[in-house]
Structure 1
């Protein structure tokens, strides 16, 4: 309780001095030492980063997968196999799903020529009914990035 009494005047002072004199609320400038979160990278920046390594080629086991009928609320996943068909190590720098219902996982280590890696897409069907089609963009050191992989599901009531 003593600490609260000591802190209240400080909070009141900060509240009263939060805006500079001729400043409207929507023009508030905060003087903080907090580290800002980096801005989300644009697609162009992600492609540039992915292609910063020597280019190679890849083959997917499939670019589209059909889950078929899925019960609403069920969590399903599919693994897309990736083969490095080029002469340089394949580096998957990012897999960006189209929405928050899909969580990606992928091989983070360089995939050597002739070797295989994987991309897993995990889908949460909780917020969907009926036919659903989703996609994810795969950023890698290949000429035509991003590569789009998709899946579909028929979400059935419980």
Structure 2
């Protein structure tokens, strides 16, 4: 008895689902999607932000441009435990003030410091990067991702070199 009742309910459910799918096709998927899109657009209006990437949006010709004098620094070979410091100099070659939001290193051993105030068009700035080789050995390649109000919004600079293991030379891993 239970098995028959279960089978009947299952068959009714499948018929109902089939009817829903059939009804959707008859109404037309384009009409339903268009109505949903219009409702979503009305509920979430687009904010005009020239620094947000969109497929159809043209780049902002007035956006700041972060131009580094060099995007990579090779510190060569150092002894384990040494601290290397390097300054990456840049220029805002755009038409509006450059605002650096963040500079994130790829490792805790690398610490960047960047200007917190706006950099005017044509003005220069610098990002100081410090690499601590304590506990490091062999070839090192660390990046700093700079996030700013530029297009694209991120720019990467690299600091690299080799950390030697005392008098024995590079550590083999």
| 1:106 CA displacement | 0.9
Say which of 113, 120, 136 aligns to 2:121: 113
Cα distance in 2 between the residues matched to 1:94 and 1:121: 13
Partner of 2:56: none
When normalised by structure 1's length, the TM-score is: 0.65
Partner of 1:13: none
| 1:80 CA displacement | 0.3
Number of paired residues?
A: 108
**Greater C-alpha radius of gyration:** 2
Does residue 59 (structure 1) correspond to residue 67 (structure 2)? The answer is: yes
Cα displacement string for residues 42-74 of structure 1 (whole angstroms, at most 9, x for unaligned residues): xxxxxxxxx48x731121011111000111001
Gaps of at least 5 residues in structure 1 are 1-50
**Runs of 4+ residues deviating >4 angstroms:** none
Q: In angstroms, what is the RMSD of aligned CA positions? A: 1.7
Higher relative contact order (CA 8 A, sep 6+): 1
The 5-angstrom pairing of residues 1-158 of structure 1 reads 51=51, 55-158=63-166
Bigger share in helix? 2
